Each structure stands twice: as C-alpha cells, then as structure tokens.
Copies of this chain bind each other. A is one copy, B any other.
Amino acid sequence: MTRARKAVLDALRSAEEPLSAAGVIARIGDICDQATVYRALSYLEETGSAESFVLHCARDGTERYYIAAGERHHHWFHCESCHRFIDLGVCRLGRLCDQLEREFDVRVTEHTLYFSGLCGDCRK
C-alpha cells in the first residue's frame, strides 16, 4: 500500500460519511495529485477496500461517493437541505435480492440503494 493509497483509504475510514473525490482531496491536502486520488479510489474499489455509488444532488451535481468497505455494506440517507449523509445501517435487502433472483432468473451481484429527503434537523 503506497503512501497515496494509504492516505486516501485513511480519509475514507475516518470519514463518518461517503466522500466524493473532491471530499477526499479536501481532507488529504497536498499529499498527492488529484489524478492519483482518482487512481487510488479505483484501486481501492477494485481490491475490495472501498465501495462507491453515484448520487445526483441539486447543490453538488452528479458525483461518485466512496466509502471504506466494512464487514457488511451499509446504505445511506442524503439530506437535500444540509447535504449530510446519515448511515442507515447494514443492508436490509438480502431477502429481496434472493427473491428477485428467483423471480426474474438473474444473478444479482450488486445493488445501489440510497434515500434522500430531509433529515430531522432540517425538517424543524
């Protein structure tokens, strides 16, 4: 694990929420070039240390967000007002995936799921 990759992985691990490439760059500063950050993110995802999903939001446009991979993958809620993410805990779709595989004769290897709306704070 090179210094750049380590820095990117640390950034993901220490973040409480999914980070975009820009978010990672903001956190690690000038440790390496942005191209290296993108390459590190691809590397981490390919080797299973990170996961990602693409989210479109009004303020930040379309960006890919990365999370350090844990034991079991989580899903997230994105607040359209404060733009924070809330961890919704581990995936609850296991049952549904199995069911869909049988029902539609497909092999589901992954899925993307996230919710958006207003968080408790912003709703007040």
Residue of B nearest to A97 (CB): B115
A70-124: which residues lie under 8 A (CB-CB) from chain B?
Answer: 77, 79-80, 86, 88, 92, 96-97, 100, 104-120, 123
Asked whether A106 lies within 8 Å of B92 as measured between CB atoms, the reply is no
Asked whether B109 lies within 8 Å of A112 as measured between CB atoms, the reply is no
Interface status of A64 (Cβ within 8 A of chain B):
yes
Interface status of A55 (Cβ within 8 A of chain B):
yes
Interface status of A56 (Cβ within 8 A of chain B):
yes
Cα of A116 to Cα of B111 in the assembled complex, Å: 6
Interface status of A32 (Cβ within 8 A of chain B):
no
Asked whether B110 lies within 8 Å of A112 as measured between CB atoms, the reply is no
Cα of A26 to Cα of B68 in the assembled complex, Å: 38
Interface status of A36 (Cβ within 8 A of chain B):
no
Asked whether B120 lies within 8 Å of A115 as measured between CB atoms, the reply is no
Cα of A21 to Cα of B80 in the assembled complex, Å: 24
- Asked if A110 meets B106 with Cβ closer than 8 Å, knowing A54-B62, A55-B54, A88-B100, the reply is no
